Structure 1
């Protein structure tokens, strides 16, 4: 095992084929990576769900809150940050599947308040894939509320031609979710909690945590170990505001790998999120999800989830038509709020995936390394 774990640490290692791994062996793999990570990063609580061939193993560490010392379990609710974007995207795919919108529609077609603005020429697909022309990562402070965001969008001018550059953006995919909800005739939170989540079989995932579930909601901690929870902001639920558990996200991973078990419109929605719309370096952009050819090198995942990918514009190469899910790919998405860090990755062709949730925001690279080691162990 020592030799195997050392082998997993080599950044150029390619994930290959393998079979199901015993629970005791997986415990050793997960412990050996998570225990030092939590100490190094000052993480109070963390949960890992390992999905393989329809079976799920849970590995829970530390506490959900320091004051109560409540232990983390697979039912503990964590803020999942931008993993929320994959739910937003799936809702959009569902709206398209039932005929409420087309990704090729111009944004102002569904949001008349934006008629006469740049969004007459920006498609829903461009919003969902961060290519409207330079919407930045966050709203300006003055626009970061439900009452001020539309005026911001009405006056916003693209820096680049729509569809030309990828610039990762909460306002961009957030507006996509907002337009999707409008097409369904529902507030986003209602469309998510009453329509999509039940259809995915998720029972412990929320936009707003209900009062009777408050005891499950982990306390997040910032870099100074001060308690923090996600702040309200413009399009927060659409872009980064969902809370979920490792158990529900494991179900979500299984649904993504086995959509044939779901009703037809949801199957179509998942296929829409898994499609490839353009490439940037070694990454192919889906809706919400980001995908890589499989086997994949650790370095490719680190680069795809790096700060430059989140903060800098990148020229895109559109795939026309959009490319359906290839035979061998890995999907992943990171998510962060002020006090939480999340990572989800899965490989449909190998029927395996991993969910990592923590009540501290720590570097994406560390999450990717742990997940990579776990996936490698399953596929060894």
Structure 2
């Protein structure tokens, strides 16, 4: 058989095609940079944000865009390896750990809360399922613990004495004590402290090496300072169940890997794949948004107005009527999935669309309005969708 080889003209044509593809890729990346710049720089200027790190994933490829400083005092520049506090986006890890415990058979979301903490026996939590703690539908647990809850004993007393304002499963009231207790009980079902499970099991299984419940000494030089409303440097002061509620710290480079895990979990352990699917399952519908475990879900395509409604102050601060989905809405690719998070000195946003294989993470060392995060993220994802 005669071996057929490309002609010189064929090589030339292939080379031209290769150069053309490279030029097109460079042009697309330049266009993406312009979009990110136009979305982020005005937000920084308007809100006095010292530094921001943006990570984008498209088809599994990552792009990083860094702005400003991690510390105004030292002048250290932001990079994709700068560590930011992500506030309530920490709840997506809490949801994942609880879902992993269920996938392992350690708990059922239908189990009553007091099953995993006998000290709650005889309280309202004898009748409240774990699912309703994880989806903020237990009956009106508040946004934060009352100021008087200053010790573990007082925390237990608070839970034991708490009485629902609404029948379980009828209203969603966004609540740190609700999902905090969910994460705490999930950890108890696995016979280990939450932080230990996070750092020794969950994060390694997800391939995350720059995400922490507590930043190790060796990485403190990469830990940004947040800035308060008075523009004073500040970092989170961990309280009870901090990691479960708001205490995770991460980098843009690491967190975008978690977004990839959520877009396509097929490379993960089968049990973790099942857990990820559970966090994308719709359990309650509240207006335009459907509540998953940690993540908040919207049918795709979604309008900006729907996202702004779902991420509004009323959604975060008030009790809203919730429609229980029976059976729950199975995880699917045609979703827009997002979560905001803040501490006193940081503001964060993450969003992704599995069907389009695109996602964005926006980390800032100053809190600023959720609406502005959502608008910036939506604009960036729309640009990515146009390129795909």
Unaligned ranges ≥5, structure 1: 1-18
Shift of 1:245: 0.5
Deviations 1:257-284 (A, max 9, x none): 1111000111011011000001111111
1:33 aligns with 2:31: no
Q: How far apart are the structure 2 equivalents of 1:145 and 1:379?
A: 49
Match of 1:228 among 234, 243, 258: 234
* Aligned residues of 1:146 and 1:235 also touching (Cα < 8 A): no
Match of 1:173 among 179, 183, 200: 179
Residue 24 of structure 1 corresponds to which residue in structure 2?
A: 30
CA-atom RMSD in angstroms: 1.2
Residue 192 of structure 2 corresponds to which residue in structure 1?
A: 186
Residue 254 of structure 1 corresponds to which residue in structure 2?
A: 260
* Aligned residues of 1:143 and 1:234 also touching (Cα < 8 A): no
Shift of 1:144: 4.5
Residue 82 of structure 1 corresponds to which residue in structure 2?
A: 88
Larger radius of gyration: 2
Q: How far apart are the structure 1 equivalents of 2:323 and 2:209?
A: 38
Q: How far apart are the structure 1 equivalents of 2:313 and 2:168?
A: 23
Deviations 1:141-163 (A, max 9, x none): 11144342111001111111111
How many pairs are equivalent? 362
Shift of 1:206: 0.3
Residue 311 of structure 2 corresponds to which residue in structure 1?
A: 305
Q: How far apart are the structure 2 equivalents of 1:299 and 1:204?
A: 34
1:242 aligns with 2:270: no
Unaligned ranges ≥5, structure 2: 1-23
* Aligned residues of 2:333 and 2:353 also touching (Cα < 8 A): no
1:269 aligns with 2:284: no
Secondary structure at the residue paired with 1:143? coil
Secondary structure at the residue paired with 1:141? coil
* Aligned residues of 1:143 and 1:152 also touching (Cα < 8 A): yes
- TM-score normalised by structure 2 residue count: 0.92
Structure with more contact order per residue of length (Cα contacts < 8 Å, sep ≥ 6)? 1
Residue 8 of structure 2 corresponds to which residue in structure 1?
A: none
Secondary structure at the residue paired with 1:344? strand
Deviations 1:220-254 (A, max 9, x none): 00111011111222211100000000011100000
1:93 aligns with 2:99: yes
- Decide which moves more: 234-243 or 330-339: 234-243
Shift of 1:37: 1.1
Match of 1:111 among 111, 117, 122: 117
Q: How far apart are the structure 2 equivalents of 1:198 and 1:147?
A: 32
Residue 52 of structure 1 corresponds to which residue in structure 2?
A: 58
Q: How far apart are the structure 1 equivalents of 2:342 and 2:212?
A: 16
Secondary structure at the residue paired with 2:45? helix
Q: How far apart are the structure 1 equivalents of 2:152 and 2:180?
A: 12
Q: How far apart are the structure 1 equivalents of 2:111 and 2:375?
A: 39
Stretches (4+) displaced over 6 A = none
